[in-house]
Amino acid sequence: MSPLRIIYLALAIWGTVHPMYFFVTYLRSEGASFVGMLDLWVANPAVEGMAWDLMIAGTTLVVWILAETFVRRNWSALLAIPATFCIGVSCGFPLYLFLRTRPV
């Protein structure tokens, strides 16, 4: 495995573990209230701006993944879509790059 692929994989793992720590901490303290977590996404303009930024980046990533997958026929790259929606862009993007750069 190339050093670049190792870096992509490490970033995907970090992009999974680090945000999940904060999500799990919040859900434990608030009793697994997903509605409460969603309400906090519009708590103030700074947080709302960041939430929109991540939603737009995630949508752009999914469009890119779909477009390239149909051209390159790299079907395993589609795994980055649920990773993006379930975990976040911090996992989905490096995971996609890891899957995209595999030897053909």
| 28-77 pLDDT per residue, tens | 887 777 777 778 878 888 988 998 999 999 999 999 999 999 999 989 99
Two structure tokens written together for 75: 């079907």
pLDDT classification of 5: cutoffs 50, 70, 90: very high
Maximum alpha-carbon separation in the chain: 46
**pTM for this predicted structure:** 0.86
Q: Which ranges of the chain would DSSP assign to H, the alpha helix?
A: 3-30, 34-40, 45-72, 80-86, 89-100
